Amino acid sequence: MTTPWSYRYAHRTKTLTSSAIRELLKLTQRPEVISFAGGLPAPELFPLERFQAACQAILSDRQRGQAALQYSTTEGYPPLREMIARHISRYGILARPENVLITSGSQQALDLIGKLLINRGDRVLVEAPTYLGALQAFNVFGPDYVSLPIDDDGIKTDELDGMLKTGIKFMYLLPNFQNPGGVTMSLKRRQRVVALSEEYGVPIVEDDPYGQLRYEGEHLPTLLALDRDNLRRDNGYDLGNVIYLSTFSKTLTPGLRLGWIVAPKEVIAKLVQLKQGADLHTSTFTQMVAHEVARGGFLDEHVHTLREVYRARRDVMLAALDESFPASTGVSWTRPAGGLFLWLRLPEGLSAQALLAVAVKANVAFVPGDAFFAEPGAGARYCRLNFSNAAPDQIQEGVRRLGQAVGQMQGEPALVLA
Amino acid sequence: MTTPWSYRYAHRTKTLTSSAIRELLKLTQRPEVISFAGGLPAPELFPLERFQAACQAILSDRQRGQAALQYSTTEGYPPLREMIARHISRYGILARPENVLITSGSQQALDLIGKLLINRGDRVLVEAPTYLGALQAFNVFGPDYVSLPIDDDGIKTDELDGMLKTGIKFMYLLPNFQNPGGVTMSLKRRQRVVALSEEYGVPIVEDDPYGQLRYEGEHLPTLLALDRDNLRRDNGYDLGNVIYLSTFSKTLTPGLRLGWIVAPKEVIAKLVQLKQGADLHTSTFTQMVAHEVARGGFLDEHVHTLREVYRARRDVMLAALDESFPASTGVSWTRPAGGLFLWLRLPEGLSAQALLAVAVKANVAFVPGDAFFAEPGAGARYCRLNFSNAAPDQIQEGVRRLGQAVGQMQGEPALVLA
């Protein structure tokens, strides 16, 4: 018999929908493409020398070196858990190290949370749009999504109240500089969301990869910090309604794959069991390196630098958009106070997927909105644009090309020839 | 309200059975305990200097350093995939780099395979005993296990034939120096297993973490190599019945968390999508470091050293067992030709769990057999003993203490006082 696997065993594997962003990212790897598609930090800011010193310090010490390369505990490297607990306590969160689980990027946190909480058919409330990686992680476990729209102040809490009455397993929310929307949940809405969670007993999964990357305005408290009971101990048990996620991917480097979950210790205990089945533990070596790089206040300094650089890039992108898309084009976009993305809306009749095909020919790329909605078609007119990765002159040039591509689609040959 | 999470939301989380090995490993971390419990390599053999040089080489080169710390593709670092494809081609496997997916340890490979293949209630055939981490990874997806016993020649293929007729989703097999059994599937049985897989169209998941660590006898071909169609291309498709897993954890270091899957490219494509949802990709940095450490023939040399050291430790353990457990004790054990473990059977009436309690008081530890069986209670009289981690004199002393513990349980006070 010479039956290929794909015929012989296809019926044995689960059906997966293919990932649009994956195929896209492949296209955008050509060096001539100016890519606003990924969520990549600026690699020229990676502190290579400090990483080198950290590796040297760990590996030249026999005991530390051996520990770095050996199996370790699923919960994570204790000094790193302590560092994270200490760091977030500055923001009014009562976390102890035992409330922190180190994950292989915050993508793994989403997978573990899906595993823990989602049974097939469970209703999971998400923002519309929401982070496509969360949809991808959760999809495997078969949830039914309930989507609530966001505006410039985040999720619309007036609709949330009614929705929570209908039986929701948990809410998945990105309050800071949302991916992909670029918007930030207002303090008032944060308070309301937390109050509703408490009232209806619906837990919140708060995803906060960008919270440190604010470029203007005041830091707003996380949902975790606003949940008055959160992580407070009562009679040996932890209280709280929020499971909080963050990561080193945007503040240090993504190539280490280090994220974390902060939650009541009873939740951490269950997630630890699931993580053990998923990958035993996150690389001991990368955890020790991250700790060595971050410690002594370096991470704070480094985040300060990132804020300066990314703020400037955001401003360049916003100015370029103003220039390339005058009101007459009917294109609008969000003005993020932080993070890595803005969210652009095309005028009626224009499709983001079709625009991408034109844009890629002009060597500029972005992610079309569809991937960010649980409901097919809802994102047809939206584009996610990243402003952290490309240099300022590239951002200007990329937006110019995008303007031309839209002009071309709107039948304005003058713009195309400009 | 001050309801702790564990009361308020317990009904929302899935029920997990707690992991015996986890709690055990905690006990055995006390420095005075001689532990045969873990599956830890000997840390004194980790090539720290070579790791140091590798980190230096990567991070001192601006372009490589930036790539090492940036996001990368889900499939894995291309030179590492090429190295693995090249390496296994020495063993008669026709793998191309596109047949290789890098995973976050081979534990993640088990998780992804469970995600891809297991629907609740699917019947999965496993050896009895089998690797507890596989059971842990698969359990999340709700399989029904069908267990087939092993003997000194591996799985009993005479029983396999009938079993495969009854509808099996896939077989999970560890042909080399099985964990925990320490036994190796004979060539004849390998050929039979592969023929039955082909005949009944039941795919094989072949887990081979220890294949390189053979201390005596001839290397036997993997099931992947014996499957005559495997990875052969036909009309653009890949043929084959085997999904093969291995890892750097036992040959290089476990702390990097690097494993891989070799499979038809159509299977890899689906696993890539699942891996993207699970952790986006494995650390770029650890992949580049492993490649830099392993290349130029270093890994082969290093494996040669490991074979020498572990062979000696195995021999010390076997000799110590002969001494501490004369035939009159009724204790028997396997004599592994490679790998990290041997499998000890207690006489009727003695429980491994009970023995562990006594042993831990005497500062020696092992893993009781129950965790290695899909059926509760089947492993009550078995103990898994690791011989790679402890130094030879510690192995001797540990086995002596184990002999005393058994003697104590058998009511032989003379032995206890010896």
A197 and A261 inside one domain = yes
Q: Give residues with Cβ within 8 angstroms of A236, minimum separation 6.
A: none
Range B264-277 average pLDDT? 96
Q: Is residue B60 part of a domain?
A: no
Q: Is residue B54 part of a domain?
A: no
B77 and B176 inside one domain = yes
Q: Is residue B51 part of a domain?
A: no
CA distance A357 to A351: 10
Structure confidence at residue B417 (pLDDT): 42
Contact: B285, A255; criterion CB under 8 Å? yes
A77 and A225 inside one domain = yes
B84 and B138 inside one domain = yes
Confidence of residue A22 (pLDDT cuts 50, 70, 90): low
* Residue A314 burial (10 A CB sphere; 0-12, 13-18, 19+): buried
Tokens of A135: 């949809």
CA distance B21 to B37: 8
Tokens of A276: 């053990």
B25 and B131 inside one domain = no
Structure confidence at residue B46 (pLDDT): 98
In the predicted structure, residue A397 carries a pLDDT above the cut 80: yes
A224 and A343 inside one domain = no
In the predicted structure, residue B230 carries a pLDDT above the cut 90: no
Range A184-198 average pLDDT? 97
Q: How far is CA B61 from CA A18, A49, A298, B66, B413, in A?
A: 36, 10, 22, 8, 65
Structure confidence at residue A418 (pLDDT): 39
CA count, 13 A, side-chain hemisphere, B372: 30
Cβ of B153: how many Cβ atoms within 10 Å? 15
Contact: A264, B59; criterion CB under 8 Å? no
In the predicted structure, residue A249 carries a pLDDT above the cut 90: yes
Strands A341-345 and A382-386 turn out to be antiparallel
Chain A residues in contact with B44 (beta carbon < 8 A): 66
CA distance B88 to B299: 13
Q: Is residue A63 part of a domain?
A: no
Structure-token match 């804020």, residue found: A307
Helices and strands, counts by H and E, chain A: 16, 16
Contact: B237, A9; criterion CB under 8 Å? no
Confidence of residue A415 (pLDDT cuts 50, 70, 90): very low
Q: How far is CA A26 from CA A23, A171, A208, A322, A360, in A?
A: 5, 32, 27, 29, 11
Range B31-35 average pLDDT? 93
Chain A residues in contact with B105 (beta carbon < 8 A): 279-280
B112 and B169 inside one domain = yes
CB B194 within 8 A of CB B204: yes
Structure confidence at residue B85 (pLDDT): 97
CA distance B227 to B206: 12
Q: By CA distance, what is A201's nearest residue in B?
A: B8
Strands A204-207 and A170-173 turn out to be parallel
Q: By CA distance, what is A241's nearest residue in B?
A: B5
Range B294-315 average pLDDT? 98
Structure confidence at residue B1 (pLDDT): 53
Cβ of A394: how many Cβ atoms within 10 Å? 16
CA distance B46 to A263: 35
Q: Is residue A210 part of a domain?
A: yes
ipTM value for the complex: 0.95
Instruction: Tell me the pLDDT of chain B averaged across its residues.
Output: 93
Lowest mean pLDDT among A168-172, A202-206, B352-356: B352-356
B244 and B311 inside one domain = no
> Domain boundary at B266, B295, B324, which?
B295
Percent of chain A at pLDDT exceeding 70: 95
CA distance A76 to A81: 7
CB B415 within 8 A of CB B408: yes
Cβ of B261: how many Cβ atoms within 10 Å? 26
pTM: 0.95
Confidence of residue B416 (pLDDT cuts 50, 70, 90): very low
Q: Is residue A366 part of a domain?
A: yes
> Domain boundary at B254, B276, B295, which?
B295
Q: Which of A156, A160, A213, A207 is nearest to A179 (CA)?
A: A207
CB B243 within 8 A of CB B116: no
Q: Which domain holds residue B326?
A: 16-45+300-417
Structure-token match 């306590």, residue found: A89
Tally of domains within chain A:
2
**Residues of B (78-107) whose Cβ lies below 8 Å from A:** 104-105, 107
Q: By CA distance, what is A13's nearest residue in B?
A: B117
Lowest mean pLDDT among A79-88, A378-387, B23-32, B334-343: B23-32
Structure confidence at residue A197 (pLDDT): 96
pLDDT one-digit tens code per residue, A209-223: 999 999 999 999 999
Q: Does B5 touch chain A (CB under 8 A)?
A: yes
Range B279-296 average pLDDT? 98
Amino acid at B345: R
Can you name the residues that pair with B55 across neighbouring β-strands?
none
Cβ of B391: how many Cβ atoms within 10 Å? 14
Q: Is residue B261 part of a domain?
A: yes
Chain A residues in contact with B133 (beta carbon < 8 A): 276-277, 280
In the predicted structure, residue A414 carries a pLDDT above the cut 60: no
CA distance A60 to A384: 44
* Better pLDDT: B8 or A206: A206
Strands B123-128 and B144-151 turn out to be parallel
Contact: B255, A2; criterion CB under 8 Å? no
In the predicted structure, residue B414 carries a pLDDT above the cut 50: no
Q: What are the helix (H) ranges across B37-131?
A: 48-59, 62-69, 78-89, 105-117
Contact: B69, A256; criterion CB under 8 Å? yes
Range A254-258 average pLDDT? 97
Q: Which of A365, A46, A91 is nearest to A225 (CA)?
A: A91
Q: How far is CA B376 from CA A130, A324, B279, B346, in A?
A: 43, 68, 32, 17
CB A399 within 8 A of CB A317: yes
Q: Does B42 touch chain A (CB under 8 A)?
A: no
Per-position b or e across B177-201, b if 16+ CB within 10 A of its CB: bbbbbbbbbbeebbebbbbbbbebe
B137 and B209 inside one domain = yes
Tokens of B262: 């070799």
Chain A interface disruption, residue of B106, B231, B280, most A CBs within 10 A:
B280
CB B203 within 8 A of CB B214: no
CA distance A107 to A136: 10
Strands A341-345 and A364-365 turn out to be unpaired
Tokens of A369: 């909105």
CA distance A117 to A124: 10
Amino acid at B335: R
In this structure, what CATH number is given to the domain that contains residue A165? 3.40.640.10
Structure confidence at residue B175 (pLDDT): 98
Q: Give residues with Cβ within 8 angstroms of B255, minimum separation 6.
A: A67, A68, A69, A70, A71, A72, A283, A284, A285
B226 and B333 inside one domain = no
CB A290 within 8 A of CB A80: yes
A239 and A388 inside one domain = no
Q: Is residue A11 part of a domain?
A: no
CA distance A309 to B292: 33
Structure-token match 């420095």, residue found: B31
Range A96-122 average pLDDT? 97
Output the CA angle A52-A54-A57, nearest 5 degrees: 110
Q: Find the CB nearest A65 among B40, B48, B276.
A: B48
CB B379 within 8 A of CB B344: no
In this structure, what CATH number is given to the domain that contains residue B340? 3.90.1150.10
* Residue B270 backbone phi and psi in degrees, to 5: -70, -40
CA distance B332 to B152: 13
CB B286 within 8 A of CB B257: yes
* Residue A176 backbone phi and psi in degrees, to 5: -105, 120
Task: Give the torsion sign (CA, B278, B283, B288, B290).
Answer: negative
Range A275-303 average pLDDT? 97
Confidence of residue B102 (pLDDT cuts 50, 70, 90): very high
Least Cα separation, residue B246 to chain A (angstroms): 14
Count of A–B CB contacts within 8 Å?
Answer: 283
Q: B352: part of which helix (H) or strand (E)?
A: helix B352-361
Tokens of A27: 């296209």
CA count, 13 A, side-chain hemisphere, B10: 11
B277 and B318 inside one domain = no
The three-state secondary structure class of B126 is strand
> Domain boundary at A250, A279, A295, which?
A295
